[in-house]
Structure 1
Amino acid sequence: MRMEKKTTEIAIIGAGISGLIAALRLEKDGYSPTIYEKSDRAGGRVKTDIVDGYQLDHGFQVLLDAYPKAQEYLDYNALELQEFLPGAQIFKQGKSSILGDPLRSLQLLFPTLFSTIGSFSDKLKIFKLNTTVKKKTLEEIFNEEETTTLTFLKFSGFSEQIIEQFFRPFFSGIFLEPNLETSSRMFQFVYKMFGTGNAVVPKAGMEAIPKQLINKLQRTKFEFNTEVDTITNTEIIFVDGRKITPDYTIIATDASPLVPNLRKQQLDWYSSDTLYFTCKIRKIEKPLIGLISDKEALINNIFYHTSIDTERRGSEEILSVTVVKEHELSEYELIQKVKEDLKTFCGITTERYLKHYPIKMALPKLNNLRYSLMPSETRLTEHIFLAGDYLLNGSLNAAMISGEMAAIGVIHTIEKS
């Protein structure tokens, strides 16, 4: 068996989170996979750039530290996680108020009690929802009958005001769609993760997560700037014409463009835009997400990254702005519209535009969401296995689970043969 492990060739397509976890799990059993990545570095959708001395994530992203698989695979202390307060500052018609969880952060007690967002009854219902969801296991949440988030909130008795001014902008920023069409299972899962842990960002930015995973790998080889054209049961053909014949392949990215039999089953994706600006002052002092609840606004949520500690920081405040609504604006038109919205709805004046990240494949559009799957369910053919959050639900936790299960599927297959 030792010789077999040394000579078994396992290819992993994609160096995102699921691909890196698959490699870690394979290494644990003595295998030495090779990861083929079309871009110049690992991380997939989880990347960070340094632009003019400022630290910019590819899209506004957070890690929910209550994710079970993240707790298993990541060293939180080494990441120097920076915590957000459990709440949001909500902008409506140029004014703002704070809504948060005072049971988890006492400094949010009075702002929440005196907030004009939602009725007293809504705030009691939020407390009830917190208690109810915390008691549910993850398996119970994902086995419940599935409906939309919007239907779930209405059925739970929340007023239209609290839905429109808090839930819609907050969860639109997470689900990257403005209509709360995302599964009620996903809503409850994310709500539970927020309620039992914190939203955090590594001090060095989100790319610190894949970098930490890479540092744990000892025997995995990487081939960057290597794009795959076609994958068959026994062969991988690259865009440059090169061919390899690994014993097993784990496709840790959207497989539909790569496998001929899957090309008619192409995934649909939610897209988003994130734009970064510098500012002279912060309109939100505390580490809170800003939500824009005006329906006329194109922008959905904002965050001052200088409200938390970052490894790299420029001389001014830095603001990210997220857009989840569909639009057909050019980059110049989008920048002007975002600056106009910031001024109109938030009273924010920006100084300098830094960068625009148009993210066309931000989150997969999924139905019948699941929490986990069996290793055998990742198997596509005799020699091909699948990994990626699209197999379960759009989360970093799901990416980790799928990568782990695909690796175990390969290991079980080798052991049986």
Structure 2
Amino acid sequence: MSIRHLDHTAWDAVVVGAGPAGLACAADLCAAGLRVRVVEAGDRPGGRMRTDLVAGCTVDRGFQVFNTAYPQVRRRVRLDRLRLRPFTPGFLVCDDGRRLRFADPTRAPRQALEGLAGGLAGPRDLAALAALTGRDVLAPATLLRRGKDTTTRRALARAGFTDDFVARFFRPFLSGVFLEDQLATSGRFFHLVWRSMARGTLCLPAGGIGAVPQVLAAQLPYGTVSLESPVTELTDDGVLVDGDRAVTARAVVVAAGPAAAARLLPRLAVPPYRTVTTYYHLATRSPLREPTLMTDVRGRFVNTCVLSEVHPGHAPRGHALVATSALGGDLEGREQALRTALAECYETDTGDWDLIATRTVDEALPAMPPGLPLSRRTRLGAGRYVCGDHRATGSVQGAMASGARAAREVLADLTVG
């Protein structure tokens, strides 16, 4: 086989993948003065953070929200460039035909009383919620990371919540966060997530979630990212792109998704991943005149939202875009069953809603059982590194933090070298 050089530069580091982990790693390496090349198989940066235009609508690759409280986000992203719009500080719970509201009592105290009046929470649960939130917000993050780990279900029981409140409040809401409905995820990770939600604001960029990696990529030196350049093999002195184009580098950082990373690094152990499917419906009128998430106690979906109420530009004028996510793949008959559930929860007729897109994400989030390390070393051997949410936690914060750790380890090795 004849091998051609993609370019004639001997790079200090080549980063495989332009998702948030790879872009964070590349940014730190470039800031340190290294010559860096990012090679991305897709036609744009982002990986799983991708947005498409479908029927005049802004459609993400699965429903994703942007949390302004993540430390890596605050450090790296120019928020003004995203034109963010917030969701309501709280959510609605669909419970046997009733819509009960949970509102953050620190931000919307009057609305928070509706949850008490509607029977969603009693005095005991409200007191436990205040204590939990206060501890997680005020305690140092290092203290939360070092706590004794257990499942989220057991952590909530220890915090004093009733089984009924967990079933109607935490389980539906956290199903959309962890992409599993048994509350089997690490309680330590739950506390960190709860802390970030209480401290930050859940938002949606004007251009969809794909705008985030676009901003990150734009901050790199011009020409750093090479798109439509799939890496087929790692070599002794770099990588092969498309099987016959060589990129030479002293260090290779694999920041691709878990399946691609495991293919390039056969000895790499990756955790199982959760799958989620999001259905995008276009309606002629909005079924809910507020930018609020809704969960379902019966588990027919994990969450639903009228995206055009958050950002009107997400749908054509005079229409509403509704995104609804459910665990697992696109099962036969699921979309029709969802219409029935959405008609009940939105209290409207969904028969004329137009299904414009279905997005199934097989590698949406890694499974995070108790005892899972919140951060892992990225160095696999001489000149070989790997980063991504499968090396940290299943979040944008985790992916970027893993990329930052990879950059530190690359810099340490190349400096010694």
Provide the TM-score with structure 2 as the length reference. Answer: 0.91
Contact 1:204 1:310 in 2 (8 A): no
Asked whether 1:205 is paired with 2:211, we answer no
Alpha-carbon distance change, 38 to 99 in structure 1, aligned in 2, over 3 angstroms? same
Paired amino acid for 1:83: P
Determine which of 298, 307, 310 is the counterpart of 1:308: 310
CA contact (8 A) 1:289 1:303 kept: yes
Cα drift, residue 42 of structure 1: 0.7
Corresponding residue of 2:263: 257
Output the CA distance in 2 between the equivalents of 1:219 and 1:411.
21
The answer for the alignment partner of 1:3 in structure 2 is none
Q: How does 1:41-56 map to 2 (within 5 A)?
A: 41-56=44-59
User: Match for 2:322 among 316, 319, 322?
Assistant: 319
Determine the structure 2 residue equivalent to 1:58: 61
Mapped contact 1:89–1:284 kept (Cα < 8 A): no
Is 1:89 equivalent to 2:92 in the alignment?
yes
Superposed displacement of residue 240, structure 1: 3.4
CA distance in 1, matches of 2:146, 2:93: 33
Determine the C-alpha separation between the residues in 2 that align with 1:308 and 1:64.
Answer: 14
The Cα of 1:302 is off from its aligned counterpart by 0.4
TM-score computed with the length of structure 1 as normaliser:
0.91
Alpha-carbon separation, structure 2, partners of 1:312 and 1:280:
14
- Which deviates more, 69-78 or 363-372? 363-372
Find the counterpart in structure 1 of residue 6 from structure 2.
none
For residues 132-189 of structure 1, the C-alpha deviation after alignment (integer angstroms, 9 at most, x for no partner) is 2112211111111111111111222211221111101101101111111111011111
Alignment of 1:405 with 2:405, yes or no, is: yes
How far is the alpha carbon of 1:285 from its aligned partner?
2.5
**C-alpha contact (below 8 Å) 1:270/1:364 kept by paired residues:** yes
Query: Is the CA contact (8 Å cut-off) linking 2:302 and 2:326 kept in structure 1?
Result: yes
Which one of 64, 80, 83 corresponds to residue 83 of structure 2?
80
Task: Report the identity percentage.
Answer: 26
What is the Cα deviation at residue 403 of structure 1?
Answer: 0.9
Residues 44-65 of structure 1, C-alpha deviations (whole Å, 9 max, x = no match) = 1111111111111111111211
User: Residue 287 of structure 1 aligns with which residue?
Assistant: 291
What residue identity is the alignment partner of 2:404? E
Where 2:137 maps in the other structure, the secondary structure is: helix
Q: Classify 1:348/1:151 alpha carbon distance in 2 versus 1 (closer, same or farther; 3 Å).
A: farther
> Do structure 1's residue 217 and structure 2's residue 223 form an aligned pair?
no
Contact 2:276 2:329 (C-alpha < 8 Å) held by counterparts: no
How far 1:113 sits from its partner (Å)? 3.4
Does the 8 Å contact 1:257/1:266 carry over to 2? no
* Aligned-residue CA RMSD (Å): 2.0
Does residue 360 (structure 1) correspond to residue 366 (structure 2)? The answer is: no
| Bigger mean CA deviation after superposition, 279-288 or 162-171 | 279-288
Distance 1:349 1:186, change over 3 A: farther
| 227, 231, 238: which one aligns with 1:228 | 231
The Cα of 1:75 is off from its aligned counterpart by 1.1
Question: Which one of the candidate residues 272, 275, 281 is aligned to 1:271?
Answer: 275
What is the CA–CA distance in structure 2 between the aligned matches of 1:260 and 1:156, rounded to whole Å? 42
> Could you tell me how far 1:197 is from its partner in structure 2?
1.4
Gaps of 5+ in 2: 1-8
